[in-house]
Structure 1
Amino acid sequence: MPLRRILVAFVLLCAAVTAQADGVGDLEAFYNNVDSLSAQFEQEQKDDSGQTLQQASGTFLLSRPDRFRWEYTAPYQQVIVSDGETFRFYDVDLAQVTIRSIDATLQATPALLLTGGAALEDAFNIVSAGRRDGMSWVRLTPRADDTDFQEVRLGLKDQVPSVMELDDNLGQTTHIRFSDIELNPTLDESRFTLDIPDDVEVVDGRGMNGQGR
């Protein structure tokens, strides 16, 4: 093979390797440099034919490690809160709160995927997925078979998560786009707790039957 072709092939290979490393590198930079985050989000769920099933929006707060508040404000009200040990899901319309441990809920919400840590690496294979739409992408596939998602794709812009795509086991895809992102804001610890009204049913999935408010 002529030297020129070898050189061109080498340059192309280096470019491919660099692109391959972008996603994971940007995600690692996010984990290393960002301890807290606040953002707005818009969420759209589509079926396997691309038809829109549901749209929602709300706010997202993150305080690493493992603390977050994912709150839907339209068209319904739901609050998903983690204090680092316990996960609470409050459905306002149903007047019901479900309590679970963090370990048992890793696959249950996209918010927890952004907290990172060893638990995430234990649950998912994480690889770079090139560049698309001006973002570097990361692909996460679950290591276990009994999970909620078949695949998660995370798009990062300037080393900050901007878009998340989640493929579930029903062939549906959820698209989440973040906006008004603020990095490392000061967040009060009370934002990661949940005051449960007395008239709300509590379902404690930790086996404590109604305790743990």
Structure 2
Amino acid sequence: MNKITIKMNKILSIALLLFLSFTANAQDKKAKDLLDQVTAKVKTYKNISIDFKYTLYNSKENINKESKGNLVLEGNKYVLNFLGVTKIYDGKKSYTIVPEDEEVTISSVNDKDENAVTPAKMLTFFNSGYKYYWDILQDVKGRKIQYIKLVPTNAKDQRKEVLLGIDSQTKNIYNVIEMGKNGTKTTLTVNSFKTNQPLSKNQFTFAASKYPNYYINKID
């Protein structure tokens, strides 16, 4: 191989690397643009009502569980029903109601804490702490679901990656698939997504009178 051939190969290699880098950056920009559209869309809704399915799977541990739940959001307030527990947040305090134990736990919540994980952040959790990449497009019952792969930037995060499925037409989240470093796979799938529904004025109000025999545990 002569010097000219070697030089040409080096130039081609550099060109290929530059092309691949440009393509990756372009795809990352596409991913960021789509995530920004999802965030902007969420902010246009007065309230959101979601019915969802949650699955937990780990073949090594022989775990395969499925649960259903529902969530009502309005601003930073919410009512979450999941795994037999109801959680209400009225904007100041959180109320966790556990019928099985006949107990209500009341605690203050700092909703401005960026590290706090709350249902109100479920639809915009991806805005920080991740690198994002354009992934596959799937047809799900006639809906075009575009996936964005999210890779946690914190090395201590127990999740290897997160796949965020977004409805290409509505720009609403269809599902969230989390792959754990220990082989655990969890999937949250939105079965029903309704917006701007008429809500009761007491939707996010805890009424102690409904739980006369419950133990009230006030943490703070």
TM, length-normalised to structure 1: 0.68
Residue 192 of structure 1 aligns to a residue whose secondary structure is: coil
Contact 1:30 1:159 in 2 (8 A): yes
Question: Which residue does the alignment assign to 2:121?
Answer: 113
Per-residue deviation at 1:57? 0.9
Per-residue deviation at 1:166? 4.5
Question: Which residue does the alignment assign to 2:132?
Answer: 128
Contact 2:27 2:133 in 1 (8 A): no
Residue identity in the other structure for 2:19: A
Contact 1:38 1:62 in 2 (8 A): yes
**1:138-176 superposed Cα distances (whole Å, 9 cap, x missing partner):** 63848696x8x6476543223212212356797644321
Contact 1:23 1:129 in 2 (8 A): no
Alignment of 1:79-158 (within 5 A): 79-103=86-110, 107=116, 109=118, 111-114=119-122, 116=124, 124-132=128-136, 133=138, 134-137=145-148, 139=150, 141=152, 150=159, 154-157=164-167, 158=170
Is 1:185 the counterpart of 2:185 in the alignment? no
Alpha-carbon spacing, 1:78–1:152, altered in 2? closer, same or farther (3 Å): farther
Is 1:198 the counterpart of 2:198 in the alignment? no
Residue identity in the other structure for 1:49: K
Residue identity in the other structure for 1:130: W
Alpha-carbon spacing, 1:13–1:129, altered in 2? closer, same or farther (3 Å): closer
Question: Which residue does the alignment assign to 1:161?
Answer: 173
TM, length-normalised to structure 2: 0.67
Per-residue deviation at 1:42? 0.9
Higher-Rg structure is 2
Residue ranges of structure 2 left out of the alignment (5+ in a row): 1-10, 139-144
Alpha-carbon spacing, 1:126–1:187, altered in 2? closer, same or farther (3 Å): farther
Residue identity in the other structure for 1:36: N
Tell me how far apart the structure 2 counterparts of residues 112 and 144 of structure 1 sit (CA, whole Å). 25
Tell me how far apart the structure 2 counterparts of residues 95 and 79 of structure 1 sit (CA, whole Å). 12
Task: Give RMSD over aligned pairs.
Answer: 3.8
Residue identity in the other structure for 1:175: T
Contact 1:98 1:202 in 2 (8 A): yes
Tell me how far apart the structure 2 counterparts of residues 163 and 126 of structure 1 sit (CA, whole Å). 17
Alpha-carbon spacing, 1:152–1:13, altered in 2? closer, same or farther (3 Å): closer
Q: Percent identity?
A: 13
Residue 203 of structure 2 aligns to a residue whose secondary structure is: helix
Residue identity in the other structure for 2:134: G
Which of 43, 60, 71 aligns to 1:32? It is 43
